[in-house]
Amino acid sequence: MLHSEAPKSHSQKPSTPPAALSVAPHSIVPKLSIKPRVSVRPSMVPPRQRTTLRRKFILTMLVVSSLIGVTTLTIVLFLSARASERRLREIERDIEQSIASKGKILTENHALALRGMVLDNAFLDMQSLITRAVNDDSDLVYGLFTHADGETLAFRVHAAEEAAGATLAKDAWKTLGFKQEELSVPAEKLQRAERLGQEVVEVSVPLFGEEHEQLGTLRYGLSTRRMRQAIAAATADSKAQKIRSIELIGLSVTLATLMGILLSRMQAVRITRPVQDLTRAASDLADGDRSVRVKIESGDELEMLGFSFNRMVWELTSSYAKLEDMNHTLEQRVHERTLALAGRNEDMRAVLDNVDQGLITLTPNGIMATERSAVVDQWFGKPAGAQTLWRYLSASSPSFAQNFEMGWGQLVDDILPLELSIDQLPKRLSGEHATYDFRYLPLLRDERLHSVLVVVADVTSRLLHEREEAESAELMQAFRRMMKDRAGFTAFQRDASALLKTISAPDCQPSALKSALHTLKGNAALMGLTAVAKLCHQLEDEIASEESMSPTTLAELQERWTKLCEHVAELSPSDTGLVEVPESEHAALIQLLQRAGQSEAVDRVLGWKLEPATRALGRLAEQAQALAARLGKGELEVVVQPSSARLDPAYFGAVFSDLVHVMRNAVDHGIESPEEREAAGKPVRGRVTFRATQQKDSVSLEIADDGRGIDWDLIKKKAESLGLSARNHADLVAALCHQGFSTRAEVTETSGRGVGLSAVKQRVETLKGRLDVQSTLGKGATWTFVIPLPAATPALRRTAT
């Protein structure tokens, strides 16, 4: 006879509790021996109820609302303080820049005026100029003009700041606290200084004579009083805003808390009533009443819980009726389940043989289980019997095996928390040809470590893909930096190469090595070169842990830097010898030369804004090499002859765009294959020459090749067949450039349509130029294009040689 009442305590275990008899369809049920229960049901005293769910719900809502309010207030105060501090810095910076800009303009203008006065020995005019400037501007604290030998030529202190001894004397500069060696400056200088008992922004400008000898130094000191006043006002305003924010947030949090308590109380009633019904029903079921049911219509999880409770009671009742039948057929079911389990083991073996991840189970002593993924043996070889994982992996990576053995010892000792011990196990094994990631999943039994599942993944392809993406992003960042600040990036590139040379030196001292690594990492990170910075950081970690750098990591850093420099060199040619000049300085130089009547120098400076013709021809040369390689013409030799010609890209851009057709004809029609050239006794490498020559009123562009040359007899026959004139050389050149004229029998991707040379001829005629071609069969051809200079560039006409 079955006992019909469920036990109320988990601490006391009856021989066959009814709850254990609710069997899932696919579970394995042990053989039961059903006997009448003779044990007496223990008396159960229900625990005393000390509180209610409703009260806990309300208290939780109150605590959460308070935490949210305090957190919100803290965040707002923090953000407000940050914003206030940032605003004060911006105000200070803006005012300081305004003061500095004003001082620079005043100093530079007066420096020009004083230069003439010094040359004319107009000492009274000097003093008058500085006195008037200081008296008329309240921001000027003082003005000082000293001779190159240290003698004061003009000196004035503002009336509000005038101090004792502030009079014009040879050493009046001592009143401001200068030293003799500080009087002369080689270039314009901007600094903060303490003068006459207050902080000033001091602007110093040297004056040079006609032979660039230094005549003296002009200084103006501007007061920072306005900056301090603005900062004080901004500070007071920020403090008032903080107080208002605190008051508003406090009021909002209080109202929200009160509203939350009211709503939580209403919701608590709706939630706790069904829970109370379930509690009473569960108590009745524990007392043996299996007819108990609950009715909950809340439309949420509680209603689903009530439904599940009713179904559980029904299933529990049904299980008692089926229990005896199940006992009679249990042995047969166990046999069936054993066969099913064997089938599942076979399925699991098939999974392990085909999964692309390595699955290894380790016992607490580190021994590998016999069942593991087949891919593990493919990656690391077949183990020789039962052995530990670190011994198995020692052949692939001794350092990984050593670190794993140490980490496993800490895990087994159970001194540190399990999660921390698992986290300290090595997670990546870098082999000679592949890289693997390791993940560890602890399997517990009775809250103690029973085994560990090791999941191994081959991440070689993913890391390679990530590296390629990082290198592409890094190259793009380097190019952006170079375009934004070419001089700065060039300096960084030079310094970084020197640092890498220091790092790679075998006799580098540890202190110098660490300093060079840290400097290169920081500079690379500032430039956005994250891959280089990460490699430096990895080397720093290796030095810190192993006191030496990994040769593999160092080689990777060297290779990455070399590739980066090569790509940068390809994207932008070296600019050694170039000087970057802002457009404003360029315009100022032109005005200065115009006032000096230096027309030839003005023309030369105006030409700086034009593009060198060799640069445009260089682009054609690169395209020619690429086309020759694509057409199987071998490695083409291209020559761009040096030229001082500079052209307006807006005017000549279309010309060079059309000259692509001439270049393509030279490579496709003219240059022979390496086998043909060798048979003809020519150098194996074909040669294409680009030349630009500038005359007084025009520029001549030439493209010459040493290929097959032009078969003028074939051109004449083709022209006559098309009804074109072919009486002389000019007619043949015109026919060669006629729309639709081509000697090719078939159309290819590069030629054969007869439109390229026609477009070139039309462009030259539109610009009122002329073209010609000279060619000898078997020797090559030379195309010449003479383009008149535009009327808008008279400077080029005058300076052309």
**Whole-number Å distance between alpha carbons of 120 and 519:** 54
* Pairing label, strands 435-445, 428-430: antiparallel
- How much is the mean pLDDT over the chain? 80
Has residue 345 got a pLDDT over 80?
no
Nearest Cα neighbor of 220 from 198, 208, 205, 210 is 205
Split at pLDDT 50, 70, 90, the class of 35 is very low
Higher pLDDT, 586 or 715: 715
CA distances for 360 relative to 393, 427, 438, 451, 455, angstroms: 12, 15, 11, 10, 7
The whole-number pLDDT of residue 334 equals: 75
Q: What is the pLDDT of residue 46?
A: 57
d(CA 293, CA 271): 19
Distance CA 752, CA 743 (A): 7
CB neighbours of residue 239 within 10 Å: 12
**8-31 as b/e: b if 16+ CB within 10 A:** eeeeeebebebeebeeeeeeebee
Q: What percent of the chain has pLDDT over 90?
A: 14
pLDDT digits (tens, 9 = 90+) for 621-662: 988 998 888 888 889 999 999 888 888 888 888 888 888 889
Which of 44-48, 183-187, 333-337, 676-680: highest mean pLDDT? 676-680
* Contact of 656 with 649, CB cutoff 8 Å: no
**pLDDT confidence of residue 749:** 44
- Identify which of 657, 691, 647, 654 has the alpha carbon closest to the alpha carbon of residue 793: 647
Q: What is the radius of gyration, based on Cα positions, of the chain? A: 45
Is residue 28's pLDDT more than 50? no
Task: Kindly tell me if the per-residue pLDDT of 510 is higher than 50.
Answer: yes
Q: Token pair of 169, please?
A: 């004397």
Asked if 561 and 497 touch (Cβ cutoff 8 Å), the reply is: yes
Ranges 21-25, 443-447, 753-757, most confident:
443-447
Q: What is the pLDDT of residue 161?
A: 62
Query: Is 326's pLDDT higher than 80?
Result: no
Instruction: Kindly report, residue by residue over 362-417, the tens digit of the pLDDT.
Output: 999 999 988 888 889 888 888 888 889 999 998 888 989 999 999 999 888 888 89
HSE-CB at 3 with a 13 A cutoff on CA atoms is 19
Q: Whose CA is closest to 519, among 544, 537, 531, 541? A: 537
Alpha-helical (H) ranges within 13-166 are 53-120, 123-136
The gap from C-alpha 454 to its chain's centroid, in whole angstroms, comes to 34
C-alpha–C-alpha distance, residues 422 and 439, integer Å: 9
Highest mean pLDDT among 95-109, 293-307, 770-784: 770-784
pLDDT tens track for 461-488? 888 888 778 778 877 877 777 777 776 7
Residue 223's pLDDT is 85
Confidence of residue 34 (pLDDT cuts 50, 70, 90): very low
Confidence of residue 165 (pLDDT cuts 50, 70, 90): very low
Q: What tens digit of pLDDT does each residue of 206-262 get?
A: 988 888 888 889 898 888 887 788 888 888 887 888 788 788 887 887 887 788 777
pLDDT at 563 (0 to 100): 84
Sequence-separated contacts (24+) of 281-289 with Cβ below 8 Å = 281/309, 282/309, 283/46, 285/6, 285/313, 286/5, 286/6, 286/8, 287/5, 288/4, 288/5
- On the question of pLDDT at 286 being above 60, the answer is yes
DSSP letters, 649-704, are HHHHHHHHHHHHHHHHHIIIIISPPHHHHHHTT--SS-EEEEEEEE-SSEEEEEEE
515 neighbors 521 (Cβ within 8 angstroms): no
